[in-house]
Amino acid sequence: MILEARGITHYYKNDLALDNVNFTAQKGEFIAIVGESGGGKSTLLSILSSLLRPTLGELFFEGKAYTQITNIDAFRQKDIGFIFQFHYLISYLTVLENIKLASLNPHDGYVETLLKQCGIEAIQNKYPDEISGGQRQRAAIVRALVNHPKVLFADEPTGNLDSHNSQNIYELFKTLSKGGTTIIIATHDRKVSEYADTLIEVNDGKIL
């Protein structure tokens, strides 16, 4: 087990967002958290990825409590990757420069390998406003993968993409999970069920 959450409860002021949620993820598992907007799926993803601290509950990464991680920034940079619905690429840097900026070892050959794997090698020297939405999202995925994360989190990663590009992203996630990377995504797109190993539905702060 690579990731475990026990009794996660979270409030935004007086509003209950998550209610006593338990969650586990195995190495190489592709998990999709689905549900309607406002149901709690993005909150759960933010908590699992350490971006948000829960009101109540415990989180463990490879058996170690999140509260025992002494350098959370190093943990986020090395052990996890995060993809947002919006790519957040820096406009005045090329695709390659954006990716290498995030890399702990920008001069190794892994960046080039990922560019090929994600099908964006040909546009690596272009700027974000010179490429398509699907290409920008793939660049964001390469950036999230560049430090060999053990878990890749993605919040509505296909929200701004058409069906063809969405399918390509899901197929890429499936390939990554088969290679041993744990994939956890939050999405309202139920077509993900064709690719994910596990589907978890969150509604009104509870796992159904």
Quick check: helix, strand or coil at residue 180? coil
* Nearest-angstrom CA–CA distance, 30 and 195: 8
Task: Express each pLDDT in 161-181 by its tens digit.
Answer: 778 878 888 998 999 999 999
* Nearest-angstrom CA–CA distance, 164 and 102: 28
pLDDT of residue 4: 96
Tokens of 72: 């959370």
Instruction: Enter the pTM of the model.
Output: 0.91
Calculate Rg over the CA atoms of the chain: 17
Q: Kindly give the parts of the chain with pLDDT less than 70.
A: none
* Element housing 84 (H / E): none
What is the Cβ-side half-sphere exposure of residue 85, based on CA atoms within 13 angstroms?
10
Provide the 8-state DSSP code for 52. S
Place of tokens 């907007």: 37
pLDDT of residue 107: 76
* Nearest-angstrom CA–CA distance, 48 and 4: 8
Using N-to-C axis directions, what is the helix angle for 95-102 and 133-145, rounded to 10°?
A: 20
Residues 192 and 34 sit within 8 Å (Cβ to Cβ) = yes
